[in-house]
Amino acid sequence: MKAFFHYECREGLIPKDPAELLKAPKVEKKAPTILSVDEVNCLLSQPCGDSPKELRDRAMLELLYATGIRVSELIHLESRDVNLSVGYITCRDEHKERMIPFGKVAKLALSAYIERGRQALLKGQESDWLFTNCSGKPMSRQGFWKIIKFYGDKAGIQSDITPHTLRHSFAAHLLRNGADIHAVQAMLGHSDMATTQMYMNYAQKETVRRTYAGAHPRS
């Protein structure tokens, strides 16, 4: 309504803006869903078989939690973007690129997928994409949403898991364990520190709660 009357007044269609003194309602930002470390471990352990699909699913989930990249970045990774020997991936967009390290668990999952799963999914086709669907075509956001939803239900996780959940959990867990906020900001690719700061607030609350639980005689 404020925008409408502002436009009407600016165009000279009304003599005065009747909504000038109205205050817009404050939009409350919903806190992101952040899994506990135990929940993440349970989720990541669900694809435990040796089929090409399970090898791919485990590699995708492990890499997502290991690096905190966006789902759009995950499904658009090319094989050349992964350096297994050094342990980092390169994420690119039209403006910049960033290099993000990953640990030994993600490295093992990626190695298993690349060595024993990827070619089986490609079915003899050639593809630059690192992750494909079961037909050898590029993975879609909807396809990955179904994957993470399936394993979340299988793990018995009650939280509403979305493709962004592991990114949120990655950032919160790093900060809670003492990671430098600027390093986390760089890995996440945030241009605004305020966006990363919301994870710091969660980490501080968790630290306070753990300190209380460990120190109060009636905790």
Q: Is the pTM of this model over 0.85?
A: no
The set of residues, in sequence order, having a beta carbon less than 8 Å from that of 124 and lying 6+ positions away, is none
Predicted confidence (pLDDT) at residue 219 exceeds the cutoff of 70: no
Q: Report pLDDT for 105.
A: 96
The answer to whether residue 105 sits within a structural domain is yes
Judgement on whether residues 16 and 61 belong to the same structural domain of the protein: no
Judgement on whether residues 12 and 107 belong to the same structural domain of the protein: no
Judgement on whether residues 10 and 96 belong to the same structural domain of the protein: no
The answer to whether residue 159 sits within a structural domain is yes
The answer to whether residue 20 sits within a structural domain is yes
How many other C-beta atoms can be found within 10 angstroms of the C-beta atom of residue 88? 15
Judgement on whether residues 24 and 57 belong to the same structural domain of the protein: no
Q: Report pLDDT for 81.
A: 95
What's the rounded mean pLDDT across residues 149-153? 95
Q: Report pLDDT for 69.
A: 95
The two three-digit tokens of residue 115, written as one number? 């060595």
Judgement on whether residues 155 and 59 belong to the same structural domain of the protein: yes
Judgement on whether residues 16 and 52 belong to the same structural domain of the protein: no
Nearest to 20 by CA among 40, 5, 7, 32: 5
Q: Which residue has the higher pLDDT, 12 or 82?
A: 82
- The percentage of residues in the chain with a pLDDT greater than 70, rounded to a whole number, is 98
The answer to whether residue 175 sits within a structural domain is no
